[in-house]
Every structure is written in C-alpha cells, then in structure tokens.
Amino acid sequence: MKKIGFVSLGCPKNLVDSEVMMGLLAGEGYEITPRAEEAEVLVVNTCSFIESAQQESVDAILEMAELKKSGRARRLIVAGCLVERYRSEIQRDIPEIDALVGTNELPDILRAVNPESKTLQPAPAMMLPTAGRALPVLPAALPEPVTAPYLYDELTPRLRATAGHTAYIKIAEGCDHPCAFCVIPHYRGKFRSRRPESVLAEARRLAAEGVREIVLIGQDTTCYGEDLGLRDGLAGLLAQLAAVEELAWIRTLYFYPNKVTTRLLETIAAHPRLCKYIDMPLQHASPAVLKRMRRGGTGEHFLRLLEKIRSLIPGVALRTTFITGFPGETAAEFAELCDFVAAAEFDWMGVFGYSDEATSQAHQLADKVDEKTVAARRDRLMRMQKKISRRRRRAEVGRRVPVLVEGPSREADYLWEGRLEGQAPEIDGKIWLSEFPGDQAPRPGQIVTAEIIAAHDYDLVARVL
Ligand code: SF4
C-alpha cells in the first residue's frame, strides 16, 4: 500500500483534523510515514489564521512540491484552512498540487489520495440543521465532495500524533462570535457541538488506550451545547468526563470570557480530575479597543472575573492571549493593556501583533497602526510577562506537586520532561525532572510526586520523590 507523509500546521484543532485524515487512510491500509522523502503521497494540512501562518503554509507546500520533483512522491495534497480561504488561488498558483481537501471535506482525503479508488468513503456524521441530530447516510455511489459542515465523532477513525498519554478531543467546531479581527468563522463555519455521549465515548476509548490526559478544544469551548439546547453544557460535560476513572487530567482550552459561569468554575473546583487550569483569550483590556474588536468587556470586569476564578478555584493556573496594534490603538489604550497585564499576573500569556486580514471586518477600519509599533508593543508585553512569569515560577520552589511525565528530554541527556496540572502541552512552560528515587526513571504518562527545587523564567526543575 502507498506510504503517505503528513505535515500538520497550526492549532490543536487542525491537528485533530490531520489525525482524522490519517485515521481514515490507515483504515484503508495506507502506511503513514513521518519521513516525507519516503512518501508516495504528501499531505500538507495548512493554517491560515494570520499572515505569518499563511506564509508558513505556503513554504511547506512548496517544500513538499520540491520533493515531488526530486523524491518518490507522486501526489501532493493540500488540506485545511488555507484551502478554505484561497482554494482557487492555490490551484492556480501551485500547479504541483494534485488535490485539495477543505476543513469540511476530511473524508474526501481517500479520494484525494487515490482518485481511482472504488472504496466507498465512510459517510461523515453530519449535523442536520434540526436540533443537532446526527444521521449517517450511506450513498448509493461515490458521493459528491462533502460541503456540509463536518465534525468527526466517536466512530471516526483517528491516528493520534500526540504522545501516547495525551490526546486532544474536539468537542465543537466553528464559531458564531463576531470578533472583528478574526476570519475563522468564515471558513470553519457556524458553531456546532458534538453530542455529549459522543465525546464521552471517545474519552472512554482513549482512556482504555492508555491516555491519561485529555485536552478539550474548540474555537470557543464555553459555548458547548448551546446549539443542542443545553444550559451550561460545558459544566455538564466536564462533570460526566470527571467520572472516567482511568483519566488523570481533563483540561479545557479556549474559554470565552463572557461565557464563563459560576457553575462551570464550581464544577472544575469540585472534581480532582478536572485541571485547575483556565485558558481564556481576552485579546485586549481597553474598553474602547474591545468595543472596536466587537468583543465587549472591560479590563475592570476582567479583573473581577479573574478574582472570582481564583477564589472559586484555589491555585488555578491562568493563561490568556492578547493582540497589539489593533486599528486605532492609541498609546493610552496600549498603556491600559499594560496596566491590566501588570495587575492580572497571568501564569501564561501569548501575544499576537495585529494581522490585517483582507476578509476581516477590522480590515475596513481606519487608523492602522504601523508594523514597527505593533511589534514593539507585542515585545513590550512579552517582556512584562517574562518578569511576572519568573516571579510566579520562583514562588513555586519547595512545593511538592503531581507531575505528568512526558519522557526523556530532547534537549538534555540526563533530564526528563514533565508537566504540572497548570501547564498545557506545547504552549506553556514545562518541568525538568533531574533526580529519580533509586535512579529508577519513571514511565511516560506516569503521574509522580516531585519537589520543585529550582525555577527559570518559564520552566521549573524538580526531583522525583
Ligand atoms: S471567538 Fe472570536 S477570535 Fe475566537 S474563533 Fe471565534 S471569532 Fe475568532
């Protein structure tokens, strides 16, 4: 059977899409290889969130196109968000591409890999526009490419690319928020949730496969279940997932600030398996900028929300994301954001410079901030956060904590890596494990107790007890 090479770019939601496509292909007997030079078919799953991500995607496509000229590859397939945004341009400008697969067309990867394939493609679970009922349809002949909103479910094969003990679960897709700088709703479509029983079934299966940590994702996880008529759907789902005994940690990313309810926070506080970790992109803190971003809220309101979160969930780790240089952002508005960051003291923070996406509403706004200022403001915030992070990390020295062991470090021979409950995979700091009792190294996926003995700007060092 053909060897297929995958390049997966962008966010964890896109990674799950890659895992679904790899699962479908492996289900048909194809071999997925990590070595692109060996592959007969190359798939690039792209991101197009902002300009720099688009450039990274185009570079990866061109790199794989080179392999098609010099290597074994016979077919080049491009999938993902860049396809949704620039389908005709990609096809016109990069003739080396043999097929395109959009974010709502994942099952079409089989036809893209092998157009002659007579294999009937598995019918995707589609959300009918009535009350969220899923109804698999078995087509009489090869179906037309899928155009209806797609969302995988517990029956969809998935070949996971994450470490064996950690897995993402996409609980919803699409977004209904009108954030002026964002184009994701244009190509990921309207918000739609998976049924709770589908998420639970997948979580149980993953736990049975040895997964200890699941990370729930979506564009906005706090909207979960609204389209299914559920009140506080995420709190309800988390309470059910917390009963899956084989799981150690259940983490949720992408909270929307004005969707965070008391019941949600109390649910997270009440269940030991639910990570005391809140990821809540705020994007700005100046009321005027938030209004222009069409997000609402104020820095004062956010500080009260953070206070409430910290009082309801003692020891909670907080992550957020900001955008600098949104059209019209004045020095005074940026200063408001800096004051907010100093007062909020987040554990983890990401900052993006505003990217003027042509199809976003913000593109129409006047008073664009020059690139140099956008970058200078981004760097200023990151410098502030580095000091805050260093102070918060140092305060953890001496604590005895549960650590999820990731495995031997790729950066230092004698060290192992791990994460705390307050550290999400890939995006936050990590913990280096320097000593093991009886020199017996733990297993990846094991939860050990360790004492924090040193702190760096973002990472910690600990000895296993
Ligand atoms: S919440 Fe806003 S920023 Fe996030 S995906 Fe939706 S529209 Fe984009």
Question: Do 406 and 383 share a domain, yes or no?
Answer: no
Ligand 1 binding pocket mutation candidate from 181, 219, 224 (most atoms within 8 A of CB): 219
Rounded alpha-carbon distances, angstroms, from residue 443 to 406, 418, 438, 447, 448:
8, 11, 14, 9, 9
3-state secondary structure of 17: helix
Q: Is residue 160 part of a domain?
A: no
Mean pLDDT of all residues in 381-409: 97
Is residue 263 domain-shared with residue 185, that is, in the same domain?
A: yes
Taking CA atoms only, the protein residue closest to ligand 1 atom 2 is 179
Distant-in-sequence, close-in-space partners of 445: CB < 8 Å, separation ≥ 6? 163, 164, 165, 210, 212, 404, 405
Give the model confidence (pLDDT) of 25-61 as tens digits: 999 999 999 899 999 999 999 999 898 999 999 999 9
The residue type found at 386 is: K
Edge-to-edge strand ranges of the sheet holding 348-353: 277-279, 317-324, 348-353
Query: Hey, what are 361's tokens?
Result: 């509403």
Smallest CA separation from ligand 1 atom 8, residue: 182
pLDDT of amino acid 415: 87
**Ligand 1 pocket check: which of 13, 103, 182 to mutate, most ligand atoms within 8 Å of Cβ?**
182
182 Cα nearest atom in ligand 1: 8
Alpha helices for 107-216 (secondary structure H): 109-113, 184-188, 196-208
Read off the pLDDT band of 308 (50, 70, 90).
very high
CA of 102 to the centre of ligand 1 (A): 19
- Total domain count, the chain: 3
**Structural domain harbouring 38:** 3-113
Q: What residues are in contact with ligand 1 under a 6 Å CB criterion?
A: 175, 177, 179, 182, 184-185, 219-220, 256
The angle subtended at Cα 424 by Cα 48 and Cα 374, nearest 5°, is: 45
Mean pLDDT within 143-157: 78
Say yes or no: 382 and 428 in one domain: no
Q: Find, among 177, 80, 192, the residue nearest to 125 by Cα.
A: 192
State how far the Cα of 3 lies from the Cα of 73, in Å rounded to an integer.
Answer: 9
Helix (H) or strand (E) holding 15: helix 12-27
pLDDT band at 97 (very low <50, low <70, confident <90, very high): very high
Mean pLDDT, range 99-112, rounded to an integer: 96
Same domain? For 183 and 96 the reply is no
DSSP assignment letter at 410: S
Alpha carbon 55 to chain centroid, angstroms: 19
Q: Give the residue from 39, 30, 28, 52 showing the smallest Cα distance to 6.
A: 39
Which atom in ligand 1 lies closest to the alpha carbon of residue 175? Answer: 6
Q: Identify whether residues 208 and 329 lie together within a single domain.
A: yes
Q: In angstroms, rounded to a whole number, what is the distance separating the alpha carbons of residues 120 and 139?
A: 8
Same domain, 306 and 172: yes
The verdict on residue 439 lying in a domain is yes
pLDDT band at 119 (very low <50, low <70, confident <90, very high): low
For 57, what's the count of Cα atoms within 13 Å in the CB-facing half-sphere? 29
> What totals of helices (H) and strands (E) does the chain contain, helices first?
12, 18
CATH code for the domain of 317: 3.80.30.20
Say if residues 102 and 84 touch (Cβ distance below 8 Å): yes
Ligand 1 geometric centre to CA of 427 (Å):
19
> For the segment 180-195, what is each residue's pLDDT rounded down to a tens digit?
999 999 999 999 999 9
Say whether 84 sits in a helix, a strand or coil. helix
Q: Which atom of ligand 1 is nearest to the CA of 219?
A: 5
For residue 256, how far is its CA from the centre of ligand 1 (angstroms)?
Answer: 9
CB 421 within 8 A of CB 461: no
Within this chain, do residues 264 and 364 fall inside the same structural domain, yes or no?
Answer: yes
Q: What distance in Å separates the CA atoms of residue 242 and residue 250, rounded to the nearest whole number? A: 7
Instruction: Give the atom of ligand 1 at the shortest distance from the alpha carbon of 177.
Output: 7
Instruction: Report residue 410's pLDDT band, with 50, 70 and 90 as the boundaries.
Output: confident
Q: Positive or negative CA dihedral for 294, 298, 304, 307?
A: positive
Identify the pLDDT of residue 107: 95
Measured CA to CA, the distance from residue 173 to residue 14 in angstroms comes to 11
pLDDT number for residue 147: 54
pLDDT tens readout for residues 415-462: 899 999 999 999 999 999 987 877 677 899 999 999 999 999 999 999
Among the three residues 82, 113, 144, which one is the final residue of a domain in this structure? 113
Q: State whether 386 and 405 are in the same domain.
A: no
Do 342 and 364 lie in one domain? The reply is: yes
Residues 327 and 421 in one domain: no
Instruction: Give the whole-angstrom CA distance, residue 167 versus residue 176.
Output: 26
**H or E element at residue 99:** strand 99-101
| Residue owning the nearest CA to atom 4 of ligand 1 | 219
Out of 71, 97, 113, a domain closes at 113
CATH number for the domain including 404?
Answer: 2.40.50.140
Residue 348 to residue 320: CA distance in whole angstroms = 7
Mean pLDDT over the full length of the chain: 92
| Ligand 1: nearest atom to the Cα of 220 | 1
CA dihedral 25, 29, 32, 35 (to 10 degrees): -130
Is 155 part of a structural domain of the chain?
no
- The last residue of a domain, from among 336, 368, 392: 392
Question: Ligand 1 centre from 22 Cα, in Å?
Answer: 27
Contact 344, 302 (CB under 8 A): yes
Mean pLDDT of 250-277: 98
Q: What is the CATH number of the domain that holds 78?
A: 3.40.50.12160
